[in-house]
Amino acid sequence: GAREPPEARIRGPSSASVHCDFELDASDSQDLGAQDASDLSFAWACELEAPAGFPEACAGLSGAMGAAGAALLVSGGRLTVAGLYTFAVTVTRLSSGEVSTAELSLQVLAVPEPSLFVDVS
């Protein structure tokens, strides 16, 4: 019978600082039809949604994304533009070629967290 396609899932923070490491984890992705986890491959993508005009915003991650398996570690300083990013993972079942994609929106902040507000007035 037909097997269920894999189901991609991403776990990660909703916000992070450009200076801090964070990790996105797709190991919760499920493949009820696969015999073992090695039948799944993971491909990561990153896009800066806002502000516009920074096509290279994710360029610092290309090496990490290419080498990543089920988890993507984003090192502090790799994302140089603060803003709203969308990360996507595409899970492919190698034996059948079926794919599933999950997305996660992440606000990357220019300040280290937690923020300290100093009132100078």
**Mean pLDDT of the residues in the chain:** 89
| Selected residue with higher pLDDT from 117 and 54 | 54
pLDDT at 111: 78
Write out pLDDT tens, residues 52-97.
999 999 999 999 998 889 999 999 999 989 999 999 999 999 989 9
Alpha helix ranges (H) inside the chain: 62-67
> Across residues 8-19, what is the average pLDDT?
95
Percentage with pLDDT > 70 across the chain? 87
pLDDT at 34: 62
> Across residues 2-14, what is the average pLDDT?
89
Q: Report the CATH fold assignment for 15-109.
A: Immunoglobulin-like (2.60.40)
Q: How far is CA 100 from CA 30, 56, 57, 63, 94, in A?
A: 10, 26, 25, 22, 12
**CA 46, chain centre distance (Å):** 7
| Selected residue with higher pLDDT from 4 and 71 | 71
